[in-house]
């Protein structure tokens, strides 16, 4: 394998450390451009779902994985983003390119509101406070005339200037490039001063404060940043599914987002990507298997929701019992094994 010693900090900080990584990235990009042309609508819709989940989960990982603040209000921020963009484009006729960042900003502003009380709360209490916030937001959306409650709200297609994003393939290119951009931004962000401060707060907040990191400021930044990502994910969900109801942004969305980052590996961007693929993929695999077994066990399809929920729970518990570092931990173990093969160390 091609190796060399690093002689400057710039080389050490580089995102792509060697030619191998660069060439594999090029292969991946080519694959992302070419393969979708041969996929059907259903496969594309799974990939689109993964992209949206990934964007939201990246923000949550910044908050839970990097800053160590346990928040259970992710679903609420996604809902805020979705409804903000839906209302802005429908009622005010705002173009999508403005409503996308604006929905993120609105969510971030509300994130600021829970960020401030969170300065007093830690661990479990923070989890409970954010959980309560999530339920209250869901209640408000359900009971406000503006958001039409359980009736749901129709949202327009994404329009950028003269183009309208309509088919699954167009959505795929749009959402995937947006997800790739988010991954790149997050990757750069966590290496910056703010990102390193987040990690310091997670590892030991008292020591971080003693080293001159203003904890209050960075915790609030982490909250609003995470809400910003979630808001944009919500905006994309709204325009992609074109119909939003409050029920789809409840506690179950929060739980699956947390499952993404934990199953993938907390505090790693690669883990979030792997987790998003796995957690979004599992229900589709289950649907596929149940469909196959339908002829011999016709009763199965009626129990689909329970089977999905149960397997989901098993995957989460299994991951945490067997491999607490998540998929990234497995990946690293395999990598070390092959690097040193046939020796053990």
Of 203 and 291, which has the nearer Cβ to another protein?
Answer: 203
Return d(Cα 4, Cα 2) in angstroms, integer.
7
Neighbour count for residue 8 (Cβ, 10 Å): 8
Smallest gap, in angstroms, from Cβ of residue 242 to another protein?
Answer: 24
Of 341, 297, 51, give the one whose Cα is nearest residue 178.
51
Smallest gap, in angstroms, from Cβ of residue 72 to another protein?
Answer: 9
Smallest gap, in angstroms, from Cβ of residue 153 to another protein?
Answer: 14
Of 136 and 336, which has the nearer Cβ to another protein?
Answer: 136
Length of the chain, please? 345
Which residues here bind another protein, judged by CB under 8 A? 64, 70, 117, 120-121, 123-125, 127-129, 131-133, 135-136, 139-140, 143-146, 206, 255, 258-259, 262, 266, 303, 305-310, 312-317, 320-321, 324
Return d(Cα 214, Cα 212) in angstroms, integer.
6
Of 54 and 262, which has the nearer Cβ to another protein?
Answer: 262
Of 139 and 173, which has the nearer Cβ to another protein?
Answer: 139
Smallest gap, in angstroms, from Cβ of residue 264 to another protein?
Answer: 13
Of 39 and 315, which has the nearer Cβ to another protein?
Answer: 315
Q: What is the DSSP letter of 239?
A: H
Of 33 and 146, which has the nearer Cβ to another protein?
Answer: 146
Of 134, 116, 120, give the one whose Cα is nearest residue 71.
134
Sign, CA torsion 115/257/241/29: positive
Smallest gap, in angstroms, from Cβ of residue 253 to another protein?
Answer: 13
Smallest gap, in angstroms, from Cβ of residue 179 to another protein?
Answer: 24
How far apart, in Å, do the first and last CA atoms of the chain sit? 18
Q: What's the Cα-to-Cα distance from 57 to each of 43, 49, 68, 140, 227, rounded to whole Å? A: 21, 12, 14, 24, 11
Q: Which residue has the tokens 């989901």?
A: 312
H or E, element range at 68? none
């Amino acid at each position: 394998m091609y190796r060399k010693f690093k002689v400057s900090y710039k080389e050490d900080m580089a995102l792509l450390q060697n030619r191998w990584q660069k060439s594999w990235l090029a292969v991946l990009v080519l694959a992302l451009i070419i393969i979708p042309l041969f996929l059907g609508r259903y496969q594309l819709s799974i990939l689109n779902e993964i992209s949206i989940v990934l964007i939201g989960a990246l923000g949550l990982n910044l908050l839970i994985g990097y800053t160590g603040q346990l928040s259970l209000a992710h679903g609420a921020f996604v809902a805020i983003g979705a409804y903000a963009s839906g209302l802005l484009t429908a009622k005010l006729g705002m173009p999508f390119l403005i409503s996308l960042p604006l929905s993120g900003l609105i969510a971030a502003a509300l994130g600021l509101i829970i960020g401030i009380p969170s300065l007093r709360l830690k661990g479990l209490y923070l989890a409970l406070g954010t959980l309560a916030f999530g339920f209250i937001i869901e209640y408000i959306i359900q009971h406000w005339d503006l958001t039409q409650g359980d009736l749901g709200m129709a949202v327009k297609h994404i329009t950028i200037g003269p183009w309208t994003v309509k088919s699954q393939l167009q959505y795929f290119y749009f959402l995937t490039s947006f997800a790739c951009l988010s991954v790149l931004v997050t990757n750069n962000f966590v290496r910056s001063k703010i990102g390193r401060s987040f990690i310091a707060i997670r590892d030991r907040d008292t020591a971080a404060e003693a080293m001159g990191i203003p904890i209050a400021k960075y915790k609030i930044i982490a909250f609003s940043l995470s809400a910003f990502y979630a808001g944009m994910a919500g905006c994309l969900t709204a325009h992609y599914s074109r119909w939003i109801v409050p029920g789809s942004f409840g506690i179950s969305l929060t739980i699956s987002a947390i499952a993404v980052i934990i199953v993938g590996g907390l505090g790693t961007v690669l883990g979030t990507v792997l987790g998003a693929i796995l957690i979004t993929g599992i229900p589709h695999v289950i649907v596929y298997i149940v469909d196959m077994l339908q002829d011999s066990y016709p009763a199965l399809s009626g129990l689909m929701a329970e089977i999905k929920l149960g397997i989901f729970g098993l995957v989460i518990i299994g991951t945490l019992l067997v491999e607490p570092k998540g998929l990234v931990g497995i990946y690293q173990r395999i990598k070390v094994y092959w690097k040193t093969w046939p020796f053990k160390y």
